Homo-oligomer: A and B are copies of this chain.
Amino acid sequence: MSLLTVGSVAFDAIETPFGKTDKIIGGAGTYIAIAASFFEKNQNIVAVVGDDFPQSMLDLLSSRNVNLDGLQIKQGEKSFFWSGRYHNDMNSRDTLVTELNVLEHFDPIIPDSYQGVEYLMLGNLTPQVQSTVIDRLNERPKLVAMDTMNFWMDIAMDDLKATLKKIDLLIINDEEARQLSGENSLAKASKVIREMGPKYLIIKKGEHGALLFHGNEVFCAPGLPLEEVFDPTGAGDTFAGGFMGYLSSTGDISFENMKRAVIAGSALASFCVEKFGTEKLVQINNEDLDRRIQEFVALADFQMTYQL
């Protein structure tokens, strides 16, 4: 199959209790594409960067079978830049700098070569841009998934709700699910959110794993207890990339297969947090990923027997 990712390709500067980085490569689109590349060998990306973005990173994406026809390079402009500082518990962070730069007037142009794509992953962007992408595809993909964040709920809820009506799967974290639904219980939140449009919902819970909802079915994916979370940046995007890469490479959107995709995404996300930015993701090989997936399998495995 084929996967189209729309998302930021950008610079980040990150501070955690373990240290800080200069400008490093980041952006939802980057994490998603790298993570998906472990499974999907037919990827496309729609994104925009400035002329300050390193060619080496674009080469890396190409080498991972990401078609860059839809990557716009704006001469004389700068790439999106975000800087943040994580608190000691790593569960919350302050944004220090947000420079929209090329993202401010981002027009997501879909190259003809991308038409007919079967899986669409809309990374965290303005709901308006996400919606535009769907509208510009001549054929509706087999599965349209998107991420969003609290920020859009605060300033663009109407746009967000309009976009939600057009998608199949929403991938958000627990805090976002609570804000979007106004419900504290994730079981209730999952119903409210799915009434807004998406038939499928994934709620990411960080170290506690993830929940997948569809109809009356629920899957609870385990969270691998990690000794050290070095940098959580991009873990959610990596999860989404692993999930969508798995799904599109198998071409199967049954609930059973989505469970497997959740495990694939979880395994990749667990690597992402081990180093700053994309550093760990580009170091690991298939053998590493295979071993990690097996850890997840063992973590959740039990054979229940009982007598009452």
Residues of chain A touching chain B, judged by Cβ–Cβ distance below 8 Å, are: 38-39, 88-90, 184-188, 190, 205, 207-209, 211, 218-229, 246, 249, 256, 259-260, 262-264, 286, 289-290, 293, 296-297, 299-308
Pull 8 A–B residue pairs with CB atoms less than 8 Å apart, ordered by A: A88-B184, A185-B227, A209-B209, A220-B225, A246-B306, A256-B303, A296-B304, A300-B302
Q: What are the residues of chain B within 8 A of A209 when measuring CB–CB?
A: 208-209, 220, 222
**Least distance between A9 CB and chain B CB atoms (Å):** 25
Chain B nearest CB: distance from A151 CB in Å? 22
**With contact pairs A222-B220, A225-B190 given, residues A302 and B256 touching in the complex (Cβ less than 8 Å):** yes
What separation, in Å, do the CA atoms of A306 and B184 have in the docked complex? 35
A180 to chain B, nearest CB (A): 16
User: Could you say which residues of chain B place their CB within 8 Å of the CB of A38?
Assistant: 308
Given A225-B187, A227-B188: A300 and B220 within 8 A (CB)?
Answer: yes
Contact with A220, one of B89, B223, B303 (Cβ below 8 angstroms): B223
Neighbouring B residues of A207 by C-beta, 8 Å: 186
Which 6 A-B residue pairs are closest in the complex by CB-CB distance? A220-B222, A208-B208, A187-B225, A286-B308, A259-B302, A187-B227
- Name the residue on B nearest A188 (C-beta): B227
Q: Quick one: closest B residue to A287, CB to CB?
A: B308
CB distance from A155 to the nearest CB of B (A): 25
Q: Give Cα A218 to B305, complex, Å.
A: 20
Instruction: Provide the residues of chain B in CB contact with A304, threshold 8 Å.
Output: 260, 263, 293, 296-297
> A263 — which chain B residues lie within 8 A by C-beta?
302, 304
Q: A260-B306, A297-B304 are in contact. List 16 more A-B contacts (CB 8 A).
A: A38-B308, A185-B227, A187-B225, A187-B226, A208-B223, A209-B220, A209-B222, A218-B225, A220-B225, A259-B301, A259-B302, A260-B302, A260-B303, A262-B302, A263-B304, A289-B308
